[in-house]
Amino acid sequence: MTRTFLFALPASLALLAAPASADEIADTLQSALDAYQEGDVQYALEELDYARSKLLEMKTDALGAFLPEAPEGWTREVDTEANAAMAMMGGGVAAEAEYGSPEGENYTVQMFADNPMVASMSAMIMNAGAMGLKTERIGRQKFALQDSQTMGLIANRILLQVEGPEAGTRKMLLEAMDFDAMANFGG
């Protein structure tokens, strides 16, 4: 088992080191490997944890790029702490923004990717009509509408929720999103 780890670790480190900010991440992963080879397991673990946190930041930023821009005359405030609680919810990444309309209405767009909560919500969204919820298609995506919330599942791994008073405005925000690109989200 140790040999498998030794052979797999350098290969996986090479795969992870390619994206933006890769220099810091690659250096940290190399430092973890060096510490491991020197027998300093604790420092290797610390370096791996740090590299993992940086990779999650990159993945969170990539997901956040799918948040729609504010419509003309609106405000948008991206919640930079939206991902903080994901570890306690089973992992994955999250992105969130709040939108303010000129009329003073507030809307929130939330995205959760690669999280167990997404799997638990998928059955509800897929069977929304059978459960008596109104459904709507936006592009090729099916969304469930309930009270002041519209929910959809993109590529069976990204839960998309929009909250706000008007269903038409929630739909407008969703129509501004690129679901095809989101489906290929890999971070």
- Res 5 pLDDT > 60: no
- The alpha-helical segments, DSSP class H, found in 19-65 are 22-37, 41-64
- Range 61-69 average pLDDT: 93
Residue 10: its pLDDT value, please? 39
Q: Residue 187 — pLDDT band, cuts 50, 70, 90?
A: low
pLDDT tier at 185, thresholds 50, 70, 90: confident
Calculate the CA 167 to chain-centre distance. 23
Where does the pLDDT of residue 23 fall: very low under 50, low under 70, confident under 90, or very high at 90 and above?
A: confident
Q: Where in the chain is the domain with CATH 3.40.1000?
A: 68-183
- pLDDT tier, 87 (very low <50, low <70, confident <90, very high otherwise): low
Reference 121, options 92, 82, 80; nearest CA is 92
Prediction pTM value: 0.76
Q: Is the pLDDT of residue 15 over 70?
A: no
Domain 68-183, architecture per CATH? 3-Layer(aba) Sandwich (3.40)
Determine what percent of the chain is predicted with pLDDT higher than 70.
84
* Spatial distance between the Cα atoms of 173 and 32, rounded to a whole number of angstroms: 43
Mean pLDDT of all residues in 67-90: 83
Query: Residue 99: pLDDT above 70?
Result: yes
**In the structure encoding, which two tokens stand for residue 177, read together?**
């999103």
